[in-house]
Structure 1
């Protein structure tokens, strides 16, 4: 137990610790004020369990006493601050789905690259082993 407490104290002293969290309805962002003065913000639709939440539900966010986590009791959602900063917004399955959706986005640059690749003959064919 003492070892776990020592690790948590070291993490609090060295890692990104929050001193405040709020939902900003004007910007539609969860904003986390870190103790070092930096601000981290993300749109709720990225986070598992927050994607369909109303603004009033999002405003009910609270910060863990250690400054390492944020919580929404009514939404049954909890996130670690270091995880959020690393871009971890849910379970592995949730993150895989976010990646899949991101890969489906079509930008002008992506369309142009696909057309240029098509003019070259498209993807190379996989050869079958003999």
Structure 2
């Protein structure tokens, strides 16, 4: 029996941004969200630019063309962020 990433890693079905949060609906039924401020380019982006998120690479990445930013869905699900939470929020 073989296993590949399509059997174990969920993909994005839908992505959206609201109130500086980015949300991803996954193929396994979960919805995960993260603060845009956890990534350098997203933290500097306007609310309108954040809303430009698109699903790429057959659901394995999120893409913001206007920001030239790509994030992997497996990385988001695993909590691999560029920036840590501010001390007050931790």
Taking structure 2 as the reference length, what is the TM-score of the superposition? 0.83
Larger-gyration structure (1/2): 1
- Residue of structure 1 equivalent to 2:34: 42
Distance between the aligned counterparts of 1:106 and 1:14, measured in 2? 35
List structure 1 runs of 4+ shifted beyond 6 angstroms. none
- Residue of structure 2 equivalent to 1:12: 6
| From 55, 72, 77, the counterpart of 2:64 | 72
1:13-68 Cα offsets, whole Å, 9 max, x none, are 3212110000123xx31000001110000010111210011111001110014111
1:58 aligns with 2:50: yes
In structure 2, the CA distance between the partners of 1:18 and 1:67, relative to structure 1 (3 Å rule), is: same
Determine if contact 1:12/1:66 at 8 Å carries over to the other structure: no
Taking structure 1 as the reference length, what is the TM-score of the superposition? 0.59
Structure number with the higher helix fraction is 1
Between the two structures, name the one with larger relative contact order (CA 8 Å, sep ≥ 6). 2
> For this pair of structures, how many residues does the alignment match?
87
1:83-111 Cα offsets, whole Å, 9 max, x none, are 11111123xxxx4xx2xx75xx269xxxx
